[in-house]
Structure 1
Amino acid sequence: MMKILGIISTAPKPRTSIPAKQHKIYPYLLKGKIINQSNQVWAADITYVPMEKGFGYLVVIMDWHSRKVLSWRLSNTMDTGFCVQALEAAIQDHGYPQLFNTDQGAQFTSEAWVAVLKNHDIQISMDGTGCYHDNIFVERLWRTVKYELLYTKAFSDLKEVRKSLTQWFDWYNQERFHQGLDNQTPNEVYYQYQAIHQPAWA
C-alpha cells in the first residue's frame, strides 16, 4: 500500500544478484544481435516479493522475442534449486533457445544452472556488472508485475503469492498487448512464429 501512495519505504531491500567470485563469468553476447524469432534468445532474472513477514523470491524465464513468460518459480530462499526447476520446466514445455542471457548472480553462474545449458548446447550470455539495460525486457516485466500486482496487496505467504501470480502471468501471456509487439500479446507472437517456422533450436 505504501508503494501505491507513493511512500518510499526505508527498509532495506534484499539483493537478488550476488556474484560468486569462484564462478566463471561469461561475456555478454546480445550487443548488436538481431533477435527476430521465438526460441532464439531466452532470459532469466530474480526479483523479491514483499510479504507481510519478510520476502519471497521470484524467478522468471522469458522468451526475448515475444516477451512470453515461459516458466516461473517462487522460493523463500535465494537457492539455486528453484531457478534450475524453472529452467528445466521451460525446456520441457517449449524446447530450448540458441542463447540464454542472465545477470552474473550466483544462481546463474552455478554449476547446476550452467550444466543444464551446456547439456543442450545453449550459448551462455551474461549482463555486464550493474547493466540492467542488458536484460531490459525482464526488467520491464518486473516493473509491471510489481506495480500491477505485488505492490497492490499484502500477501501473507508464498501460497497466496503463487495463486495470484498464476492468474496474472496467464493474463499477461494471453491478453496483455504490447506496443513493441505491434499491439499483439506475447502468446500471439510466440505461437505465430512457431506455427510457420521450425523452432530455432531444431
Structure 2
Amino acid sequence: MSRKKGQSYSAEQKTKIVLELLKEEETIAQIATKYKIASQSITKWKKQFLENASLAFEPTRAAQEFKDEIKSKDEEIAELQKQLGKSVVEKEWLAKKLESSVSLNKRKTLVENELELSKTLQCKLLHISRATHYYKPVPISEQNLKIMHTIDEIATDNSEYGYRYIHQQLLEDGYNIGKDRVLKYMQLMGIQALYPTKKRLTSIKNPEHTIFPYLLKEYWSRTGKTKQIYVPAPNEVWSGDITYIRTNGGFMYLAAVIDWHTKAILAYKISNSMDATLATDVLKTALLKYPKPKIFNSDQGSQYTSYEHTQVLKQNDIQISMNGKGRSIDNIVIERFFRTLKHGNIYISDYQSIKELKEGVKNYIHKYNFKRFHSAIGYQKPMNLYLEFIKNVG
C-alpha cells in the first residue's frame, strides 16, 4: 500500500493495520514502513481499537446507545424548533398589534441610533420604510393652510361633494390647484363625501384589519323620496368618528362618541394625530363614564378597524358595526354634529392657539349637550335626556 500525501484511512484500513500489529509477527516500525504511516498513528489506532473491542460482543447495546443519542438530539432539535416557532408567532403577533395600535409617527420615534440592530432592521421590524424614517416633513405654508381651511368649509356646507366638485369650487374661488392635490388634502384632513354610492375617496384602510358588517339597516326608513334613520332608545347605538379642526396656526383632529337616540356627545378628544390611539382613548372614556351600548358604529378607517379599538368593543361585548364602503351617510348622526360644531363654533372663532381651541370646543360641547335645544329629539337637550334615561334605568 502506498500512501499519498494528505491521504486519509478508512475504518476498514485502520482495522486491518491494527490486526496485523496484534499478530505480533512484525514490529511497529516494519508495519509503519510497509503502509507508509507514522508509528504514532498506528499506536493511537491500536489504543482506540482495544478500548472499543467489547462492543463487538454487544452490538445491540452499542446500537441502542447510538439510537438513544440520536433520539436525544432529535428531541433537543424539536424543542429548539418549537421555541423558535413560538418566538416567530409572538414576533408576528406583536408586530401586527404594534402596527395597528401605534401610529406611524410614534413608531418612527422608536428607531434608535445607539443599538446593535441596524436602522434598516429596526425599520423592518417596526413596519416602516427607511424613506419614511428619514423623511423630514415640510411645514405647510400659510397659503396651503388657507386652501385646506377653504376645503373644510366647502365640504361642510356641501356634504355630498367629492374631490372633483370641491376642486371646481376652489377654481371658481380663485385658487390655482390641481385635482390630485385636493384629493391629497382631503385624505390628510379625513374628509369624504356623504353620498350613498361608491366613491373613489374613502377613509384610509388597513388591508390586514377585519371589516365588520353594517348593523344599522333596520333603523333606516323611507318616507317618499326621503330616507331617515331613527334609533328608538338611548344606548342602543353609539358611533365614533374623527374630523379636521382648523386653527389660525394649523390644524388638529377631533374624535368624538355620540349616542344616536339622544344626540348627546358622550366623550371627545382633540389631538394632533389621527390614529388608533385617539379613537380608542375616546371610546374608553365613554365606557368609563356611561353604561355600554348594544352597537358601536364607525367608518372603515384604520383607526376604528385596529386591533386596539376592536378589542375594547369585544371585551365589553359590544356589537361592531361599520359603514358600507364609500357610505359615510351610514354614520350620518355624528357627521351632522361635526357640521353643527364647525358652523356654530369653529368657523366663527378664529382660534389662535391649541389651548384656545380646546377651551372653546369644551365650552361649545357643554352648551350643545346641556343648553341647546335639538329638534330631532322634540326640542329637548341631548345630555339632559340621556342622563334622565340612565337615571331611570339604573
The residue correspondences of 1:1-202 to structure 2 (distance < 5 A) are 3=153, 12-13=185-186, 14-16=188-190, 17-33=203-219, 35-198=231-394
SS at match of 1:32: helix
SS of structure 2 residue aligned to 1:152: helix
CA contact (8 A) 1:102 1:126 kept: yes
Distance apart, 1:197 and its partner CA = 2.6
- Please report how far the alpha carbon of residue 176 of structure 1 lies from its aligned counterpart in structure 2 after TM superposition: 1.3
- State how far apart, in whole Å, the 1-side matches of 2:265 and 2:273 are: 22
Find the aligned partners of 2:294 and 2:189 in 1 and give their Cα distance.
29
Q: Which has the larger radius of gyration?
A: 2
* TM-score normalised per structure 1: 0.89
Mean Cα deviation higher: 34-43 or 121-130: 34-43
**Segments of 4+ moved more than 3 angstroms:** 1-4, 6-13
Contact 1:74/1:158, CA 8 A, preserved across alignment? no
Task: Please list every run of 5 or more consecutive structure 2 residues that lacks an aligned counterpart in the other structure.
Answer: 1-148, 158-168, 176-181, 191-202, 220-229
Between the aligned partners of 1:158 and 1:22, the Cα distance in structure 2 is 34
Q: Distance in 2 between matches of 1:170 and 1:159?
A: 17
- 1:139 Cα shift? 0.8
Worse overlay, 99-108 or 33-42: 33-42
Counterpart of 2:37? none
How far apart are 1:82 and its partner, in Å? Answer: 1.7
Query: Which structure is higher in RCO with an 8 Å CA cutoff and minimum separation 6?
Result: 1
Q: CA deviation at 1:188?
A: 2.6
Stretch moving more, 148-157 or 161-170: 148-157
Deviation of residue 187 (structure 1)? 1.6
Taking structure 2 as the reference length, the TM-score comes to: 0.47
| RMSD of equivalent CA atoms | 2.2
Name the CA distance, whole Å, in 1 between partners of 2:326 and 2:242: 14
Deviation at 1:156, TM superposition (A): 2.9
- Residue 112 of structure 1: how far off its partner (Å): 0.4
1:98-153 Cα distance to aligned partner (Å, 9 max, x none): 11000001000000000100000100000012212211110110111011111113
**Contact 1:27–1:127 under 8 Å retained in 2:** yes
Cα offset for 1:172? 0.2
Amino acid paired to 1:106: S
Q: How far apart are the structure 2 equivalents of 1:178 and 1:132?
A: 22
Q: Which blocks of at least 5 consecutive residues in structure 1 are unaligned?
A: none
Instruction: Specify the alignment match of 2:133 in structure 1.
Output: none
CA distance in 1, matches of 2:212, 2:385: 29
TM superposition shift of 1:96: 1.0
Contact 1:45 1:138 in 2 (8 A): yes
Structure 1 letter corresponding to 2:205? P
Q: Percent identity?
A: 36
Residue 177 (structure 1) shift = 0.9
What is the CA-CA distance between 1:186 and the residue it aligns to?
Answer: 0.3
As a proportion of its length, which structure holds more strand? Answer: 1
Q: Report the alpha carbon displacement of residue 43 of structure 1 after superposing the two structures with TM.
A: 0.3
Question: Number of aligned pairs?
Answer: 197
* Code of the aligned partner of 1:154: D
